[in-house]
Amino acid sequence: MSKSTAGRFFEDFRVGQALKHATPRTVTAGDVALYTALVGARFALPSSDTFAAAIGYPRAPVDDLLVFHLVLGKTAPDIALNATADLGCANGRFLSAVYPGDTLTAASEIVGLRENADRRSGTVYVRTLGLRQDGAAVLDVVRWLTLPKRDARALILAAEKVPKLPEIVDPTGIGRACPPLNLDGYDLALSGSPHRFDDYAVGEAIDHRDGIAVDDAAQQMAARLYQHPARPQCDGRPMVAGAHVISLARALSCNGLANAFHIAAINGGRHMAPLFAGETVYAWSEVLAKAELPGRADVGALRLRTVATKQRPDANFSRQQGDTPATVLNLDYWALMPR
Amino acid sequence: MSKSTAGRFFEDFRVGQALKHATPRTVTAGDVALYTALVGARFALPSSDTFAAAIGYPRAPVDDLLVFHLVLGKTAPDIALNATADLGCANGRFLSAVYPGDTLTAASEIVGLRENADRRSGTVYVRTLGLRQDGAAVLDVVRWLTLPKRDARALILAAEKVPKLPEIVDPTGIGRACPPLNLDGYDLALSGSPHRFDDYAVGEAIDHRDGIAVDDAAQQMAARLYQHPARPQCDGRPMVAGAHVISLARALSCNGLANAFHIAAINGGRHMAPLFAGETVYAWSEVLAKAELPGRADVGALRLRTVATKQRPDANFSRQQGDTPATVLNLDYWALMPR
Amino acid sequence: MSKSTAGRFFEDFRVGQALKHATPRTVTAGDVALYTALVGARFALPSSDTFAAAIGYPRAPVDDLLVFHLVLGKTAPDIALNATADLGCANGRFLSAVYPGDTLTAASEIVGLRENADRRSGTVYVRTLGLRQDGAAVLDVVRWLTLPKRDARALILAAEKVPKLPEIVDPTGIGRACPPLNLDGYDLALSGSPHRFDDYAVGEAIDHRDGIAVDDAAQQMAARLYQHPARPQCDGRPMVAGAHVISLARALSCNGLANAFHIAAINGGRHMAPLFAGETVYAWSEVLAKAELPGRADVGALRLRTVATKQRPDANFSRQQGDTPATVLNLDYWALMPR
């Protein structure tokens, strides 16, 4: 038996299969600093213990997307080594806040399998739980990937299944990772924007204006920070990992959404076109919906679509504008804002 | 009203205007490690809790220039987004030590405005205070920038003012961020140089010998560490941010000034020529003056001019040598040394 | 007397000479996070406080090779500034675990000197001790370097000496940095491999499969993290520092040796060919020997040869395969594994 692994192929998965992933990770102030330096995050909450304490957190929580990437990074050796496409994710919910010093592990269940039309590959649906050292779930998300067959002649599986996934996470159940906020302590000068929940309207679009030239070294360091196994780069221009694109879009969105302090749920994320190192990425967002959270007068939820593009969005972008060849990411999520 | 900001222009400022900047930042051991890895700092004090404790600090303080860059980084969204030149700084004083765990915020006052001869832009003089979570000022510095007008026809301001700034910070008032030192605990083998305050003579020049090839990834990560808003890179070779050049010069100066353990004040800093990624930067320093600090027998202050250049300084460089086209930075500061 | 140093030359060393190196370093969670992101380490023990506590460590120790590089980095200003070759190391033993918060210093003794046949240079043998703040030795290693003479006509030294060094560290004395393990708490799903000490056979070879494209920015940041003095890059393709190659090989070896949780001793390391930024490095390992440790039923020691290559090793690599032009590193070490 070989001591090293070449990764699983499509026929290695079964519906209901449970996977406990390797490399538990104690998240530290070092990870937080590196994340800031790699993606350019500028939101006040994960940057500052005093801001966090003033609004009701015990101290600065770890950035939601850093948690997301660290948890999903653990699944890579078991699921994604041979994946040819990361097709999407749905029903992502942040369930508990994570603080420096907490240790994250990940466990997954295969919740669906479907052979592709080419019969040489299939789609694997994976539900992944991120867990804290005390057993609390911090993240629950389903994603699906294309995996080739090891043996193209492998038979069609008896038990194909495509899971039912909600198009939108029900907002009445989100926000558990956010403690009750003390709005008196929420300083809009320190957060960087005067705009609260009530200032945003459904249909409103926000040009985030800033752009960032993606450097290959930073995106490679990010992948190693998330402990993805090393993969030789393909020839040609290095392609930027999807995780990094999501973080860049979120970081850019601070200019216009600085008070969207917490991503409570991810309805869906789709990578529309590859982004290459050296290209410049911009972002704009649209308010798709607004929701009050049951029993909470402190925060409301904005359903946002944040779009990362390779071109500076012009002044006339809008929700009527469909995706263009310059669109690299469509991220649909619920973000909390103070009321 | 747009939710995102394109930054202020010249006519958006008024003398006396107060600005409270966003994104308070808890400085952590992660920031410190990253700063070391990005700029190559090798001074003993910010590297070691035990060295710090042996000489009278509670533990290793955060590097002075990391504090400087973090504080000034906060002013960027409010002041510098549209700046076409960062002209200089003066009267910079480090007022309290910063330790990992401290949270920094920044507040500024516009202390001067002057329309430029081209009438399309002006100079904005900004005094910035860096503040610790307990309200103590950690940094006080004035700098001035060129800002274009949004509307080139905007009228000349009624209240132009150019602030009086000292050419040199009075050394009798500096050193407050440095506790009384226990010189018995100051180990010259661990600091890396046998040369103390009394060993340096006014007029003496020091070739720092080492050179560093500036990599673009590191300088971009540094800018993101300081939470500068993302800016698309201009075409052509990427230019290195001034903050990074200052840090590289200070790091290089360790070879010859290893006991200049603390920058107590910055008299002035001027960027003389652009530095581009891929170029190699060297440094040399000149002792401009020496000062005793009232009531302190432990430390003395050297007034240093540290010059960063793109060429290896030859053996005959001296204070007679003026700036050359290879000069990229002239930094004039007071550094403390053990006596 | 010049205040800065150009580094020592061959004739500046004497057998028996003691050197106390500069820049004590408090190792922090920031250094650990950066090391992970720079080299791609994925071993469970240094990643997780909970994994560490479950098996008997007080918390996650600092990665052995990070300790190794931090300690040897301190010797560079005193020994290696003018070195033209880093020829090898031997008798390296990790003697105490290091935890974030510990401060490392380094002290060396010149244990051998030999003029080279060209009479213009010589070999300097250096024994270096890494020390913790409490005085405990954490690392003891001998290495040898080629140093040019300052003056090629300098006389042959009276006292030449080549130290006797063991080809292999005696395994009966290793493992002191590893506390007694609680094997009940050793979770093979979390470590990432089901293979324990007894599953490996002498002569067995392991293809680590993964490959990593070396980026120049990461290897330069690593050198600065270890506080090597800045050196201008030579023209042409940037060469990757030997320390970084060792770390990459170790990181790659996780796929196949995930339970080799601790490097207890380094028998020898030789850099066989330069690695340049942009090249992709792979690794394979061979089990050279196995040893039980006196009085320890918890762990055994594998003597491993881990070979880094520039080419994907083919399926037929084996211990019969000698070094090829693609071999960049041969690292011979004792690693501990749970029994």
Q: What is the pLDDT of residues C200-250, one digit of tens each?
A: 999 999 999 989 999 899 999 999 999 998 876 666 678 899 999 999 999
Contact residues, chain A, for B82 at CB < 8 Å: none
Residue C314: the pLDDT is 60
Instruction: Write out pLDDT tens, residues B204-233.
Output: 999 999 899 998 999 999 999 999 988 766
Task: Please indicate whether, in this complex, the C-beta atoms of C231 and B210 are within 8 angstroms of each other.
Answer: yes
Contact residues, chain C, for A232 at CB < 8 Å: 210-213, 280, 312
Report the chain A residue with the minimal C-alpha distance to residue B22: A190
Chains that touch C (3 or more CB pairs under 8 A): A, B
Report the chain A residue with the minimal C-alpha distance to residue C213: A232
By Cβ distance, the residue of A6, A28, A133 closest to C33 is A28
Task: Please indicate whether, in this complex, the C-beta atoms of C224 and B33 are within 8 angstroms of each other.
Answer: no
By Cβ distance, the residue of A3, A21, A38 closest to C206 is A3
Quick one: which of A210, A181, A213, A212 has its CA closest to A197?
A181
C36 — contact with chain B (CB < 8 Å)?
no
Kindly state the helix (H) or strand (E) to which residue A71 belongs, with its residue range. helix A64-75
C221 — contact with chain B (CB < 8 Å)?
yes
Chains that touch A (3 or more CB pairs under 8 A): B, C
Report the chain A residue with the minimal C-alpha distance to residue C28: A30
Token look-up 């420096």 returns A100
Taking the CA of residue B230 and the nearest CA in chain C, the distance in Å comes to 20
Residue C85: the pLDDT is 86
Distance CA A65, CA A12 (A): 29
Taking the CA of residue A191 and the nearest CA in chain C, the distance in Å comes to 25
Under 8 Å CB pairs connecting chains A and B tally to 128
Q: Confidence class of residue B234 from pLDDT cuts 50, 70 and 90?
A: low
Q: Which of residues 268-327 of C touch A (CB under 8 A)?
A: 280, 312
Report the chain B residue with the minimal C-alpha distance to residue C28: B29
Contact residues, chain C, for B258 at CB < 8 Å: 22
Taking the CA of residue C229 and the nearest CA in chain B, the distance in Å comes to 7
Beta bridge partners of residue B327, listed in sequence order? B309
A236 — contact with chain C (CB < 8 Å)?
no
Q: Which segments of chain A have a pLDDT < 70?
A: 1, 156-158, 232-236, 313-321
Test mutation, A19, A20, A23, A75, chain C, max C CBs within 10 A: A23
For the entire predicted model, the pTM comes to 0.97
Residue B236: the pLDDT is 67
Token look-up 């263009």 returns A324
Distance CA B284, CA A131 (A): 53
Task: Please indicate whether, in this complex, the C-beta atoms of A29 and C30 are within 8 angstroms of each other.
Answer: yes
Of A316-330, C45-59, C105-119, minimum mean pLDDT range: A316-330
Report the chain B residue with the minimal C-alpha distance to residue C238: B213
For the cut 60, the answer to whether the pLDDT of residue B131 exceeds it is yes
Test mutation, B28, B48, B252, chain C, max C CBs within 10 A: B48
Please, what is the average pLDDT of chain B?
Answer: 93
Task: Please indicate whether, in this complex, the C-beta atoms of B227 and A40 are within 8 angstroms of each other.
Answer: yes
Residue A322 vs residue B192, higher pLDDT: B192
Instruction: Write out pLDDT tens, residues C293-336.
Output: 999 999 999 999 999 999 776 645 555 567 788 899 999 999 99
Arithmetic mean of pLDDT, C99-120: 96
